[in-house]
């Protein structure tokens, strides 16, 4: 192989490696952006999960409160019924 053919081959290979390096750099940038987006997404999911947990606790508190109210109402209604039954019996 002559020196000029060898030099052409070296330049050709160098050009190919430069293109591969450019592609790898572009892929590295995209991967970095994907990692950042993934971290942001995990953060947002964590925030939503915390919000859901808060709403769930509030709903359970509300259910307990409503159940207590109905128990109190049931006791009062039973007393009214008993009072009405006693009055009707007299």
For the record, the structure tokens of 30 come out as 């995209």
Sort 68 into a burial class: Cβ within 10 Å, 0-12 / 13-18 / 19+.
exposed
Whole-model pTM: value is 0.57
User: Average pLDDT for residues 57-63, to the nearest whole number?
Assistant: 97
Q: Using only C-alpha atoms, what is the Rg of the chain?
A: 38
Q: Are 5 and 13 in contact (CB under 8 A)?
A: no
The C-alpha atoms of residue 74 and residue 80 are separated, in whole angstroms, by 10
pLDDT one-digit tens code per residue, 28-55: 999 999 999 999 999 999 999 999 999 9
Token code pair at residue 21 = 């390096």
């Amino acid at each position: 192989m002559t020196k000029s053919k060898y030099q052409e081959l070296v330049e050709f290979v160098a050009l190919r490696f430069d293109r591969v390096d450019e592609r790898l750099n572009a892929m590295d940038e995209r991967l970095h952006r994907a990692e950042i987006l993934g971290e942001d997404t995990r953060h947002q999911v964590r925030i939503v999960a915390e919000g859901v947990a808060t709403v769930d606790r509030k709903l359970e508190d509300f259910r307990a409160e409503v159940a207590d109210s109905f128990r109190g109402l049931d006791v009062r209604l039973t007393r009214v019924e008993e009072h009405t039954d006693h009055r009707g019996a007299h």
